[in-house]
Amino acid sequence: MEISRQLGLEAETVALDREISAGLIGPPEYATRVHALWAGLTEAHVGAAFDGAPWLARIRDVWAEIRGQGDYCAVVSLSPSFFVERLTGWGAHAAYGSRFPAVPFTEPVDPAGVLSAAAKVRIADRLCEEFGVTRADCVAYGDSLSDKDLFGAVPVSVAVNADRHLTGLATHSYMGMDLWEAYELVRSGR
């Protein structure tokens, strides 16, 4: 949404968000259509969108705490990889998003590189192997339908400002704008 805001395309993206939330389109079609909307996207737009996004407070503090305990943190999102990967600069060990072509776009988006709910689980499994942990060691945080499979794969999950798709699936629920507060729900049990 923040990228679309930079391009003056909020209404068009809200309409796409409604379609995907209602199950009328899937992630590959969403990515293809948003890629077309973002035809004029530049690195300056991406940077401004990232800097202006309404991030949860204390993300960096939570990740620093996790790292300090010798644990790992990763982000797996259906958002474009060129946006999500910037979070490694904030302390995430890994960040994966749907593969989009480089900005500015000169190629189409490849639907095979667009992540799905099932892909999030596959990536999490690869990361567990890489980090030397198991699913039983993991806590998942999420907010939408694309997190449903991941919530079913790990023993502890936190629905953060979640939509109706995660109701009743998470072991914990948080409404607010501070990741530390959501982290506190599971921190003492880890």
**Is 139 exposed, middle or buried (CB count within 10 Å of its CB: 0-12, 13-18, 19+)?**
buried
Sign of the Cα torsion 91, 174, 141, 20 reads: negative
Report how far residue 41's alpha carbon sits from residue 103's, in angstroms, rounded to the nearest whole number: 7
Enter the tokens of residue 134. 């198991």
Alpha-carbon separation of residue 160 from 131, 179, 182 (angstroms): 25, 8, 7
> 44 lies in a domain?
no
> 157 lies in a domain?
yes
Q: What is the pLDDT along the chain (190 residues), one digit of tens a residue?
A: 999 999 999 999 999 999 998 889 999 999 999 999 999 999 999 999 999 999 999 999 999 999 999 999 999 999 999 999 999 999 999 999 999 999 999 999 999 999 999 999 999 999 999 999 999 999 999 998 899 999 999 999 999 999 888 878 999 999 999 999 999 999 865 5
Q: Domain range for residue 78?
A: 56-187
Enter the tokens of residue 94. 């890994």
> 105 lies in a domain?
yes
How many domains, in total, are found in the chain? 1
Enter the tokens of residue 100. 């989009």
Output 106-114 pairs: Cβ under 8 A, ≥24 positions apart: 108/32, 108/35, 109/31, 109/32, 109/35, 111/28, 111/29, 111/31, 111/32, 114/27, 114/28, 114/30, 114/31, 114/78
Q: How many beta carbons lie within 10 A of that of residue 26, not counting itself?
A: 13
> 177 lies in a domain?
yes
Q: Before 108, cis peptide (omega within 30)?
A: no
- CATH number of the domain where residue 88 is located: 3.40.50.1000
Report how far residue 54's alpha carbon sits from residue 74's, in angstroms, rounded to the nearest whole number: 19
> 9 lies in a domain?
no
Tell me, what's the pLDDT at 109? 96
